[in-house]
Structure formats: structure tokens, C-alpha cells
Amino acid sequence: MRTRPRPRPPKLLLEIAMPPRSPIASHFSGKLTSQVRRVLPAYLVLVFIFLFFANTHFFTTPIRAASKYRRELKYQQPLQVSNALIPRKIWQTWKVGPLGFEQRDSDSAKTWPAKNPRYRYEVLTDDNANEYLEWHYGVHRFNRPDLVDLYRELNITIIKADLLRYLVMYAEGGVYADIDVECLRPIDRFIPERYNEQDVDMIIGVEIDEPAFAEHAILGSKCKSFCQWTFAAKPELPVMMRLIENIQEWLHQLSHGKGIAIPELQLDFDEVISGTGPSAFTRAVLEQMTAQNHGEQVTWDLFHNLAESRLVNGILVLNVEAFAAGQGHSDSGNHDSRGALVKHHYHASGWPTLHPRRNHPMYGEVEQCNWKPECVAEWDKNVAEWDTLPKEEQDKRIASKSTLPRGLKSPY
């Protein structure tokens, strides 16, 4: 007897009927898939490139860290001729040569060869500086076209002047002095008799020694500095190349941060001081002292209230009276003392007019206090109170200040 097959259980899921695909749709689907496969790598590369340039700082951090490490090793290399003396050369830089000096510049400049007849005297000008750098930093010597190009790119006069003195002193060494600096004593007096001249690689002096202002919002970055309007050095000192490459890195970072090319940069007073001026000079010197001190940090404490010169790893630091007497601060003394070696007349120091300091609309520049604590405290107090005033009251006070007769101070 034949058994009947059991009925199949009903399906629990409904099957959705799909319309049959046309041959045309199948053709284009295959085409699309193959095209995507071909172009996908290119798209991914483009996305990666976009992300890379959008986050260059992040992606290049390891590269920059490795570069900085290699630079640091280079700065710690010993001098090629460690027992050599500082060359007997005097360097000055100016817009024109000695034959074109104004009387006041000529008067100051003549004191250098007059008091140092055994020294060679040379002035680099705006016209011949490029050729000088192309020779020494081109293929003939250091082969650093990047530094030549950097100098050429710059359009800021004071930055070029600062960078040029450092490049010259690295290339040939000697004694550098600003055009408005008068020589009061022979250069042979720069090194005290208790030192062996061969042990001195560099001679610098204190300019500002006011560490009490270290936390001040405006004065803090400038309150501890060495002078760079006069200094002396042996050629090819690592500290000078450290300074030069610090400036190079700073300029590129500034250009990147502001989103403009280096020739288009505009800087204020503090940016100049910290980028290429005394603050930058001081930072490089302290970094070099630390590097040559087995990593143990050398700070400004070592030079605060410096009564006599101090030799630190080949760098001779003179007290503030030597190169910066007569400033009215930092216990700098006066130019009549035996310890005063040069006199800075400041008549060539007009660059701050192009790079202004922070100027409060009511109380002016805190630098006008010339580091006097009572004056700075009063300025800070007035500015703090000003910030609490309504706009109408601020405008009223500014208006009353502008209508005062010359020489009469505002009651505010």
C-alpha cells in the first residue's frame, strides 16, 4: 500500500519577488564596480595628501624632533682649533660704507680703529652683504644656500641686520659693534688679566638684569638679557650656528603660523626682541652653556648681580657696566668708570618706530618706566583699573588727555 507524502510545513518568511534584472543594468553594474576599483587607490592617495597638508605640524613632528636632535649633536662638537685666539678683526654693518657715513656715525666708527690699530676694520653694507654671504655660505665654504636664501627673502631691516652680524661672526669671528657704539677702551682690555686668552671663545656682556619682572606680561620676556650690540667670538662657534638656526626655524614657524610668506612678515617690537634680538641671543647662549655643562641647566641666576666677569665653558660674561653702562637700570653704573668699555649712543636705533611696542591708549608704553618698580606698579594698576571702566568713560578720559596743553599730565 502506497503511503501519501507528508505535506510540507508552511514557510514562515515571505519571499519578496524581485523583478528580473535587465541585461543593460547588469552591464553597467559591472562597469561601475570595475571603475571604482581602478580609481579607488588614487582617491585614497588624494585624501591622504589632503590630510597630510591639513595636519602638517602633526605628521612632521617626528621628523622635526629627529632634525632637532641631529642639530643638538652638531652644536656639541668641539672646536676645530680650540687654542686659537679671537681674530683681530672689527666688524660693523651699515647702509653705506665709511665714506658715506653721517658725521655722528663716523665719529663713533673712528674710535674702533683709533683705539685698536693692530686690528683689521671692515664695514659690510647693504650693497655687498649678499656677495659676502654667497661666498662664505655658498659652495666655496659652508654650502648653506638655505641661509643665503633666507637672508635674501627677508624684507625687515632690523631682522636682516641681526642675522647678518651672526652670520659674519660665525664665518670669520672677531669683534662686532653696532655703528652707533663708541669704543672707550682698547679691545685688549675686554679680557681680564686673570684669564688665559686661549680659553676664551666668546666675549659677551650683560645688558638687562631685572629678574624681578620675570612674571610681568610685557617686560617678562626682556628682563634678563645679554648685549648683542657689541660682542666678540672665535669663528665657527657652535653657539653662533645654534642662534642662526634658531632664527631660521622661528621665521619658518612664524610664516606658517601667520599663513604668509617670509618676505611678507610684519613684526612688532617684542617679536623682534625675542626672535633675533637680545632675547634670542641670550636664549642661544644659555642653551649652549647648558649643552656643554653635561646637560645641567645654566640659568640667569649665575649672572644676576654679576660684580666681576665669569667664564662659563669658554664664554666670558662681563658685568653690565662693560658694554651697557649708563642705562639707568640694572645697576649699570656710568661711562666714566674704568669698567665701561663701550658707549652705545642709540642714534642708529630707530627701528622701534617701524615695530612699535604695546602702547596703551591712555598710559602709553610701560617701557617708559625704564624698569623702575614703582613706575611699573603704577602703570599696571592704572591699566587694570582701565579695563574695568565702561567704554564711555574710557573715551571721555582719552578725549580729556588729548586736549591737555603740552607738558601737563592727565589727572587720571
Give the cell for residue 143: 654650502
Residue 31 lies in a domain: no
Asked if 270 and 384 sit in the same domain, the reply is no
Asked if 322 and 381 sit in the same domain, the reply is no
Asked if 328 and 300 sit in the same domain, the reply is yes
Residue 2 lies in a domain: no
Q: What is the pLDDT of residues 91-102, one digit of tens each?
A: 999 999 999 999
Residue 30 lies in a domain: no
How far apart (Å, rounded) are the C-alpha atoms in residues 155 and 264? Answer: 7
Residue 34 lies in a domain: no
Partners of 125 in beta bridges? 94
**DSSP H/E element including 381:** helix 373-386
Closest Cα partner for 281 from 222, 212, 324, 353?
Answer: 222
Asked if 344 and 382 sit in the same domain, the reply is no
Report which DSSP code applies to 223: S
Asked if 222 and 281 sit in the same domain, the reply is yes
Residue 36 lies in a domain: no
Residue 264 lies in a domain: yes
pLDDT at position 403 over 80: no
How far apart (Å, rounded) are the C-alpha atoms in residues 234 and 253? Answer: 30
Q: What is the pLDDT of residues 25-81, one digit of tens each?
A: 555 455 556 666 676 777 777 777 776 665 655 555 565 566 666 777 777 776 665
Residue 171's Cβ-side half-sphere holds a number of Cα atoms within 13 Å equal to: 22
Residue 203 lies in a domain: yes
- Contacts by 151-155, CB closer than 8 A, 24 or more apart: 153/261, 153/262, 153/263, 154/251, 154/262, 154/263, 155/263, 155/264, 155/265
Q: How confident is the model at residue 201 (pLDDT cuts 50, 70, 90)?
A: very high
What count of other Cβ atoms lies within 10 Å of the Cβ of residue 382?
Answer: 13
How far apart (Å, rounded) are the C-alpha atoms in residues 111 and 90? Answer: 11
The CATH number covering residue 151 comes to 3.90.550
Asked if 390 and 310 sit in the same domain, the reply is no
Asked if 101 and 135 sit in the same domain, the reply is yes
Asked if 377 and 319 sit in the same domain, the reply is no
How many Å from the N-terminal Cα to the C-terminal Cα in the chain? 124
Closest Cα partner for 158 from 126, 205, 134, 206?
Answer: 126
CB 172 within 8 A of CB 132: no
Asked if 193 and 314 sit in the same domain, the reply is yes
16: left (phi over 0), alpha (psi -120 to 50) or beta: beta
**DSSP H/E element including 343:** strand 342-344
Model confidence, pTM: 0.82
Asked if 393 and 311 sit in the same domain, the reply is no
Amino acid at 391: K
User: Using alpha carbons only, how large is the chain's radius of gyration in Å?
Assistant: 33
pLDDT of residue 347: 85
How far apart (Å, rounded) are the C-alpha atoms in residues 343 and 108? Answer: 9
> What mean pLDDT is predicted for residues 163-186?
98
Amino acid at 12: L
Domain span at residue 381 reads 366-401
pLDDT of residue 406: 46
Calculate the alpha carbon distances from 208 to 135, 214, 282 in Å.
36, 12, 11
Residue 59 lies in a domain: no
Give the cell for residue 221: 620676556
pLDDT of residue 4: 56
Asked if 296 and 381 sit in the same domain, the reply is no
Structural domain total, the chain:
2
Rounded to 10 deg, the angle between the 238-258 and 278-291 helix axes is 130
3-class state of residue 224 by DSSP: strand
Length, in residues, of the chain? 412
Q: What is the pLDDT of residues 152-173, one digit of tens each?
A: 999 999 999 999 999 999 999 9
How far apart (Å, rounded) are the C-alpha atoms in residues 233 and 85? Answer: 9
Q: What is the pLDDT of residues 283-304, one digit of tens each?
A: 999 999 999 998 799 999 999 9
> What mean pLDDT is predicted for residues 376-403?
92
Asked if 283 and 391 sit in the same domain, the reply is no
Burial class, 73, CB count within 10 angstroms (exposed 0-12 / middle 13-18 / buried 19+): exposed
CB 315 within 8 A of CB 202: yes
